[in-house]
């Protein structure tokens, strides 16, 4: 039996994994350099660890950006991909009707202006304030 399948997880997904691996290596190197510095008293080990941390952060950011550029180019050309692009998710935010601060849906008071919110819809009225979530 023969089936046609479409691979939507390309090399761009591997770039993110490689970038995170470099980041972890940089963090471990910085911690190891700090430990060796404490043990031997030579700050050269800490400096080396910090250099590896900086390289790890740079490679992580670079590989992540290249991976996203590949995903965006694939989408632009109509090639399907299952890798998400950062910053493209959507959701609901709750805003205080008095001061405009963002608040959790479960909040009873605004953290900025201390306005009391009414009970969420479907529950009894337990709030005393006239304000609410927008």
Buried b (16+ CB within 10 A) or exposed e, 33-72: beebbeeeeeeebbebbeebbeebeebbeebbeebbebbe
Judge if pTM exceeds 0.95. no
What residues in the chain have per-residue pLDDT under 50? Answer: 123-130
pLDDT for 98 equals 82
pLDDT for 87 equals 73
At 40, list the tokens. 């031997």
pLDDT for 25 equals 95
Phi/psi for 86 (5° steps) reads: -65, 145
pLDDT for 127 equals 44
What's the chain's length in residues?
134
pLDDT for 7 equals 66
pLDDT per residue as tens digits for the range 11-43: 788 888 899 999 999 999 999 999 999 999 889
pLDDT for 58 equals 96
pLDDT for 44 equals 93
3-state secondary structure labels for all residues of the chain: CCCCCCCCCCHHHHHHHHHHHHHHHHHHHHHHHHHHHHHHCCHHHHHHHHHHHHHHHHHHHHHHHHHHHHHHHHHHCCCCCCCCCCCCCCCCCEEECCCCCEECCCCCECCCCCCEECCCCCCCCCCCCCECEC
């Amino acid at each position: 039996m023969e089936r046609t399948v479409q691979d939507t997880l390309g090399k761009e997904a591997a770039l993110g994994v490689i970038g995170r691996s470099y980041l972890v290596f940089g963090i471990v190197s910085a911690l190891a350099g700090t430990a060796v510095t404490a043990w031997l008293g030579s700050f050269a080990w800490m400096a080396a660890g910090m250099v590896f941390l900086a390289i790890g952060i740079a490679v992580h950011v670079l590989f992540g950006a290249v991976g996203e550029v590949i995903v965006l180019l694939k989408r632009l050309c109509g090639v399907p991909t299952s890798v998400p692009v950062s910053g493209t998710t959507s959701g609901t935010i709750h805003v205080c009707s008095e001061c405009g601060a963002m608040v959790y849906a479960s909040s009873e008071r605004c953290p900025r202006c201390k306005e009391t919110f009414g009970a969420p819809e479907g529950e009894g009225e337990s709030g005393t304030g006239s304000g609410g979530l927008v």
